[in-house]
């Protein structure tokens, strides 16, 4: 098997040279937004007199990044908005370079975008996930010559941007996809000043020899040279993490043209630090480009490592076996949808690293450069894919967009140390967008994309997930394996993986898990399994994701409790340790995310398969993974979000502790229940489980876990209810918290005798009148005005605005209740 050498790098930055700063300015503030179309560009820029008709429609002030669908993506009562929207601002533009270029750099905008300077269209772009620039140099110069520049706009330049996420069958991704196709300027927009001649792309082409003793770089450049300057010269330096120069060179080119690629000389040095998840060591490559006394500098991070997918497994990094411990990610978050800030992204990726993740599949599109930078610096290996997802295959325009987006993804992210796999598609066996579903044509286009990916980047491998009739085309294949959720029972997992390992040379298991409604727990979560047929396959098939029809399955007939999903995860993780030559897997998905095709889920329009909620609140399952994957000592008693357990008086109940310690001792109400040794194959909870008789009422539970001389503790308090309950008959609404201007209310479902119905899953609907604002449309169990109850209760918060409000809760078949605050 030929060993693949990965060439590793990081992000683009701008630095100071010869007294003039290459400037890249984030344009975050002073934007206006209009969530509809306008009659023409003149409407966006014409002089406005307050109170007159030209002041309409009304624009609102926003900051970037911004998404059309920050709220309506999870509004339970409407379809999310798909259509045009407009942004506008005014800029002070003064390029410090003589004859320099002024650009607007878009890190991602959805999905079709037009850019205007005053009334002049300067650029258009199709695609919601790749980066692109609009050269506004000439349009700015022309506008500055008009009377409006000084008279109306007071020396500023008006910029207008139209984004459009309207439904279009001839674009990717498909609207059948299990995620929102968002609209807006949901990634950062930058104003860039650069010299007349600049570096467009730097391909550092770093490699390392088989013994990891010598590092090589073969940097190649492409230039942005719209004025057709003839020559370029510069320096190349490579620095280690301390800033020491370990290699350098110079180059001179006599004829440069936009779009062409030029080699500028090879470099090498000895004894490189190799990049790995445990030690993501990064070097810096700095390349200058000088013409007519103006210098442009491009700086990137670069690392060195090798990787190998051995035939029939396993996976090797730098010559050593590495088990890939993976997850997935969508760009989506409570309150902002796709418009995540860099702080939010850093928080999310650090949470993954803290859980023990060393691999991620970025589903199902090119993601923000910030995410890739974080994967590089944190040491998280990446599968990134183009957004050819579901629906079939469209016409020439459809295929052109797919080619362009694959090309842009590879060229723009070519230098990231973390990426080893280029994904060509997802669930391309899913038909529905076109009258024709021709497998032969899909195979032909998949082959074309596979060849294109290898041409653009011979150093990495290609992959797809769930399209069996194309599995022989790509280098690495991921079949559909969902025992215990969409089909079968979770104990069928190991055999299903072993069967699939024999069908392709290189198999990786992407997507597994199940939904859990945060805060919902069960005393007997496995009871659904007795009704589920086994031996009929474990792959997800058409209709399996539906909540109606078909055979019995956990996804339809289960309780969606955290109790069930931690059991499934626990089983999968202990089994994965015993599968011979297994490359690894990536569970679906790290964080709950919005989707337009799941309106009837317990939180409407949410895929709830995450181990954290849409607002980063950790579910109990986060700690199951941490107990298997993290090297940092931890212990977690299952039940932090389970305030009341139930059963008969004197009945034994299992207490589970998830920990990576060698041993743990459990205390309940001050009494020791003994020390247990951890054994990952002792299911459940790796042997860290105790049978306990709870007191009626309050119970204090504590664990002390030990590994060598180190100890860690965790403790919770749970009530134990022995009273039996009947059918929910009434609701009780109370305020449970009030701090810093935010109040939280809880509704409890009770039977006719007033006993809390701890297994009730009734729908409840919150509403509010008065001075406050309901904190809803967040896509979380505690942030949705329509939600299924979890253990007979539900919560929501509101901003009080220092006034009075009345909260109402409705549930079918019960009297509406009110609470005045």
The one-character DSSP state at 617 is P
**540: Cβ–Cβ under 8 A, 6 or more apart, which residues?**
466, 480, 482, 486, 487
Token couple for 738 = 């009030």
Q: For residue 20, which phi and psi values (nearest 5 degrees)?
A: -115, 130
For residues 422 and 410, give the distance between their C-alpha atoms in angstroms, rounded to a whole number: 8
Question: Which burial class, exposed, middle or buried, applies to 453 when counting CB atoms under 10 A from its CB (0-12, 13-18, 19+)?
Answer: buried
235 is an active site residue: no
Catalytic residue among 107, 300, 385, 427: 427
587/512 Cα distance (integer angstroms): 5
Query: Is the distance from CB of 332 to CB of 594 less than 8 angstroms?
Result: yes
| Strands of 12-75, DSSP E | 16-17, 20-21, 23-26, 31-34, 60-62
CA distance 578 to 576: 5
d(CA 345, CA 367): 11
Q: Parallel, antiparallel, or unpaired: how do β-strands 101-106 and 112-117 relate?
A: unpaired
**Both structure tokens of 23:** 């400037």
Q: What share of the chain is helix, strand, coil (3-state, %, to 5)?
A: 15, 35, 45
The helix (H) or strand (E) run that includes residue 455 is helix 439-456
- Which residues, at least 6 apart from 248, have a Cβ–Cβ distance to it below 8 Å? 235, 236, 237, 238, 267
What are the residue ranges of helices labelled H in 300-428?
A: 342-355, 369-378, 396-413
Q: Which two tokens stand for residue 386?
A: 């183009």
Round to whole Å and give the CA distance between 348 and 336: 14
Give the helix/strand (H/E) hosting 147. helix 147-151
* Helix H or strand E encompassing 495: helix 493-501
Q: CB under 8 Å to 697, separation ≥6 — which residues?
A: 719, 720
Instruction: Supply the Cα-derived Rg of the chain in whole angstroms.
Output: 29
d(CA 755, CA 721): 10
Residue 740, CB half-sphere, CA atoms under 13 Å: how many? 1
Catalytic residues: 427
């Amino acid at each position: 098997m030929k060993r693949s050498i990965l060439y590793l790098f990081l992000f683009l930055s701008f630095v100071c040279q010869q007294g003039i700063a290459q400037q890249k300015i984030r344009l975050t503030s002073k934007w206006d937004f209009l969530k509809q179309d306008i009659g023409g560009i003149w409407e966006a820029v014409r002089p406005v007199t307050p109170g007159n008709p030209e002041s309409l429609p009304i624009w609102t002030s926003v900051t970037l990044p911004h998404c059309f669908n920050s709220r309506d993506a999870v509004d339970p009562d409407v379809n999310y908005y798909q259509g045009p929207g407009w942004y506008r601002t005014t800029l002070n533009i003064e390029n410090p370079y003589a004859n320099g270029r002024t650009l607007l750099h878009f890190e991602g905008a959805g999905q079709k975008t037009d850019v205007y300077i005053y009334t002049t269209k300067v650029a258009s772009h199709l695609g919601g996930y790749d980066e692109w620039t609009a050269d506004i140099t000439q349009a700015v110069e022309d506008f500055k010559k008009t009377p409006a520049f000084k008279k109306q706009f007071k020396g500023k330049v008006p910029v207008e941007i139209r984004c459009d996420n309207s439904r279009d069958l001839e674009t990717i991704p498909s609207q059948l996809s299990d995620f929102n196709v968002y609209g807006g300027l949901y990634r950062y927009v930058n104003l860039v000043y650069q010299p007349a001649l600049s570096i467009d792309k730097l391909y550092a082409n770093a490699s390392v020899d088989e013994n990891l003793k010598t590092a090589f770089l073969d940097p190649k450049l492409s230039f942005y040279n719209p004025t057709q300057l003839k020559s370029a010269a510069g320096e190349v330096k490579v620095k280690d993490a301390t800033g020491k120069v370990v290699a350098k060179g110079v180059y001179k080119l006599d004829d440069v043209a936009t779009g062409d690629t030029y080699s500028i000389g090879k470099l090498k040095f000895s004894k490189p630090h190799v990049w790995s998840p445990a030690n993501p060591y990064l070097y810096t490559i700095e390349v200058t480009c000088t013409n007519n006394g103006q210098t442009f500098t491009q700086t990137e991070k670069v690392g060195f490592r090798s990787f190998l997918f051995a035939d029939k497994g396993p996976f090797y990094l730098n010559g050593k076996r590495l088990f890939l411990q993976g997850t997935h990610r969508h760009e989506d978050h409570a309150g902002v949808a796709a418009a995540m800030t860099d702080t939010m992204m850093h928080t999310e990726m650090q949470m993954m690293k803290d859980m023990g993740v060393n691999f991620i599949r970025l589903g199902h599109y090119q993601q923000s450069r910030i995410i890739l930078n974080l994967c590089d610096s944190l040491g998280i290996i990446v599968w990134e894919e183009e957004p050819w997802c579901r629906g079939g295959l469209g016409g020439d325009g459809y295929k052109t967009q797919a080619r362009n987006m694959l090309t842009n993804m590879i060229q723009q992210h070519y230098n990231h140390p973390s990426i080893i796999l280029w994904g060509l598609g997802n669930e391309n066996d899913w038909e529905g967008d076109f009258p024709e579903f021709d497998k032969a044509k899909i195979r032909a286009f998949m082959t074309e994309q596979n060849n294109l990916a290898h041409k653009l980047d011979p150093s990495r491998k290609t992959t797809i997930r769930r399209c069996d009739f194309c599995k022989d085309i790509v280098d690495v294949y991921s079949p559909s394996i969902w025992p215990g959720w969409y089909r079968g029972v979770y104990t069928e997992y190991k055999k299903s993986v072993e069967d699939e390992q024999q069908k392709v040379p290189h198999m990786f298991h992407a997507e597994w898990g199940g939904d859990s409604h945060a805060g919902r727990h069960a005393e007997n979560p496995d009871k659904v399994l007795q009704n589920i047929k086994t031996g009929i396959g474990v792959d997800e098939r058409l209709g399996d994701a539906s909540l109606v029809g078909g055979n019995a399955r956990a996804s339809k007939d289960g309780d969606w409790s955290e109790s069930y999903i931690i059991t499934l995860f626990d089983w999968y993780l202990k089994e994965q340790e015993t599968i011979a030559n297994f490359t690894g897997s990536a569970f679906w998905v790290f964080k709950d995310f919005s989707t337009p095709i799941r309106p009837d889920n317990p939180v409407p329009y949410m895929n709830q398969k995450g181990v954290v909620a849409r607002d980063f609140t950790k579910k109990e399952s986060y700690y199951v993974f941490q107990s298997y994957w993290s090297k940092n000592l931890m212990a977690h008693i299952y039940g932090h979000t389970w305030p009341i357990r139930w059963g008969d008086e004197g009945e034994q109940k299992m207490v589970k502790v998830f920990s990576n310690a060698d041993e743990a001792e459990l205390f309940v109400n001050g009494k020791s229940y003994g020390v247990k040794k951890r054994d990952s194959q002792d299911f459940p909870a790796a042997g860290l489980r105790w049978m306990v008789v709870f007191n009626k009422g309050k119970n204090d539970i504590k664990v002390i876990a030990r590994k060598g001389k180190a100890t860690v503790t965790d403790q919770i308090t749970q009530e134990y209810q022995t009273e039996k309950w009947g059918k929910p008959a009434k609701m009780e609404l109370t305020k449970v918290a009030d701090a810093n201007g935010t109040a939280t209310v809880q509704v409890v479902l009770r039977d006719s005798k007033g006993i809390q119905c701890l297994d009730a899953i009734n729908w409840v609907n919150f509403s509010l009148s008065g001075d406050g604002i309901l904190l809803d449309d967040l896509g979380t169990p505690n942030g949705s005005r329509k939600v299924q109850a979890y253990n007979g209760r539900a919560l929501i918060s509101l901003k009080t605005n220092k006034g009075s409000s009345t909260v109402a809760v409705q549930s079918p078949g019960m009297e509406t209740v009110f609470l005045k605050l």
